[in-house]
Amino acid sequence: MSKGTIIYIGNFRFPDGNAAAKLALTYGKIFSELGYRVVFIGADERKPIHRKGVQGSVQGHDVWTFGSSLEFSKRLRRFFSIQSIISVIMKYEDVKFVVCYNFRAIPFLRLISYCRKKGIKVLSNTTEWYGNIDKSISYDFYRYIDTTLRMRVANRFVDGLIVTSSYLKEFYSKSDIVVVPSLSDVQENNTTVDIRSSQKVQLVYAGNPFNLGKRIKDRSTIKDRLDKAIRYLYYLSVEGYDFQFDIYGLTRQQYLVALPEDHTLFDELNDKVFFHGFVSGAEIYSAIASADFTLLIRDINRVTLAGFPTKIAESINLGVPVLTTRIGDMNDYILEGKMGFLLDPNDDPYNMSTLKRVLAMNHQEIDLMKRCCRETTVFKHRNWSPQVEKFLDRLLMV
């Protein structure tokens, strides 16, 4: 017997058009296995506006998708109106929870008010504290206002929060909260793994490290410090270390548009660093599964402390250890020397030493680490279902 319906709202592009959609589907598995019916409401700017939304299905769940528009007036309406969301909620009986994923502040506050009148619990699934991405003055200003209202105001009026870090748990210490890292259900046996063709250590990065198409003036605004990774590897290459670093998500030209001063590094790295541009999700997973380590470097700031990288969960579940920065809760999930190595955000010599150690590893040592990654369940959704169940049950009793 169903426990009721959970409406899950966010900027989802199903089935796997963005990271938000993949994370939402993972939570859909948790909620449905706990006995709830799950309904997704997503937004996709690639699709035309339809006032009533377009109904579909993914993994057995109802999905309502609303398109977007480049017209300012129509985009502005989307940032304030909740009528389309209400129209979907009204189609389902026994709605117990509405879960909002990093939702826009003004409609979020209006939705909280509506649901409270209807006796529906509202949860905030907060995985990010958005920072400045240096896109444009107007965009960054709007983003700042919206993020500030959501994080400091709207989130304090919800019935409970699902967050990805102890940093946010402490920030919302007076709220009912559960901490769940970014999860992934991608599995190694569902990917194609290329046969190793080289004895050199193979590193991989997959993602969007910064806003493409514009020169970056301040490197501190970069979330994934791909530039630092490339600079570390440049110095190691000069010292004679051999490796292969595959980068997915952007081309070399796109990288150099953003950071043109780095062009001299690639004279040394020409046969060691390879940009593959944008490829499908299946190709990315295959590339990660074929690598020896995922390399992800981040600085310590509020943006990186508030979230937890989905890239780490995906890599571990694909059986690939990680080289990543010791930030926030990373120590709680990554076993040093078994599931990866943690870099220091403020110690370049230490990081260089760690990378030298990694590049000197043999395949037997790497395979032992891969086995540990395959065996862990730390980022599998079933590992976190009991905590989520207790959290939901507790809220229903209030």
| Range from 53-57, 112-116, 135-139 carrying the lowest mean pLDDT | 135-139
Q: Using CA atoms, how far apart are residues 393 and 398, in angstroms rounded to an integer?
A: 9
Summarize the confidence of residues 99-121 as an average pLDDT: 96
The overall pTM is greater than 0.85: yes
pLDDT value of residue 133: 63
Which sequence spans correspond to the domains of the chain? Answer: 4-183+381-396, 188-375
Q: What is the mean pLDDT of residues 269-285?
A: 94
Percent of the chain clearing pLDDT 70 (strictly above): 90
pLDDT of residue 6 exceeding 70: yes
Q: Which of 58-62, 224-228, 347-351 has the lowest mean pLDDT?
A: 58-62
184 pLDDT band, cuts 50/70/90, is confident
What strand order describes the sheet that includes 293-296? 273-275, 244-248, 202-206, 293-296, 322-325, 340-343
**Equal fold, 4-183+381-396 vs 188-375:** yes
Does the pLDDT at position 310 exceed 60? yes
Q: According to the model, what pLDDT value does residue 221 have?
A: 87
Q: pLDDT value at position 76?
A: 57
pLDDT of res. 122: 98
Fold category of 188-375 in CATH: Rossmann fold (3.40.50)
Longest dimension (CA), the chain: 67
> Residues of 170-199 as b/e, b for ≥16 C-beta within 10 angstroms?
ebbeebebbbbbbbbbbebeebebeeeeee
Report which of 155, 186, 153 is spatially closest to residue 19, judged by C-alpha positions: 186
Q: Are 243 and 233 in contact (CB under 8 A)?
A: yes
Residue 84: CB atoms within 10 A of its CB come to 19
Task: Provide the CATH number for the domain formed by 4-183+381-396 in this structure.
Answer: 3.40.50.2000
Confidence at residue 18, expressed as pLDDT on a 0 to 100 scale: 83
| Distance spanning both ends of the chain, measured CA to CA | 22
More confident residue, 328 or 316: 316
- Residue 337's alpha-carbon distances to 204, 254, 294, 321, 322, in angstroms, are 18, 34, 14, 9, 10
249 has pLDDT over 70: yes
User: Is the confidence at residue 48, as pLDDT, over 90?
Assistant: no
- As a 3-state breakdown, the chain gives helix, strand, coil percent values, each rounded to 5, of 40, 20, 40
Q: What mean pLDDT do residues 333-357 have? A: 96
Judge whether residue 156 has pLDDT over 60.
yes
